[in-house]
Amino acid sequence: MTIDDATVRIARPCTDLAAAERFYVHGLGLAELFRKPDLLMAGPRGASWHLELVAGDLRPAPTEEDLLVLYLGEPVDPALVERLTEHGGTVVSQGEYWDRWGVTVQDPDGYRLVLSTRSWSNSA
């Protein structure tokens, strides 16, 4: 295996694991991949990435630039944005570029999720 084949885990502390679950699993639609009382791993089944959300003593300290960008390659479904806000998210401005190319939703801990209408490829 090479670095090109690696799986990515994005680990984040959270203040309320149930609130994070509502946002990422019920709102965004990620699958629960693993759970312990103070930990939730969520991601698309079969994908090469997932989020690890950990409740504990470490408090989240996100900045406006702590972004998780999902390149959808199509218009953002308004029903998805509505589900995210119904499950604890807040639509926020992320600046001219991201506001033009998608929708940014802040999770209950202040981390920002960008749903981008653009596509992305690492191919040269």
Q: What is the pLDDT of residues 70-89, one digit of tens each?
A: 999 999 999 999 999 999 99
Q: Give the Å distances, CA to CA, from 64 to 7, 26, 90, 92, 104.
A: 25, 24, 13, 10, 11
The answer on pLDDT for 61 being more than 90 is yes
Q: Give the Å distances, CA to CA, from 14 to 4, 29, 91, 102, 124.
A: 29, 18, 19, 25, 37
Provide the pLDDT for residue 124: 59
Q: Give the Å distances, CA to CA, from 74 to 102, 103, 113, 119.
A: 9, 12, 16, 8
> Is residue 73 exposed (0-12), middle (13-18) or buried (19+ Cβ within 10 Å)?
exposed
Provide the pLDDT for residue 36: 96
113 residue type, one letter = L
Provide the pLDDT for residue 121: 86
What is the rounded CA–CA span in Å between residue 115 and residue 44? 15
Residue 122's pLDDT band (boundaries 50, 70, 90)? confident
Provide the pLDDT for residue 2: 82
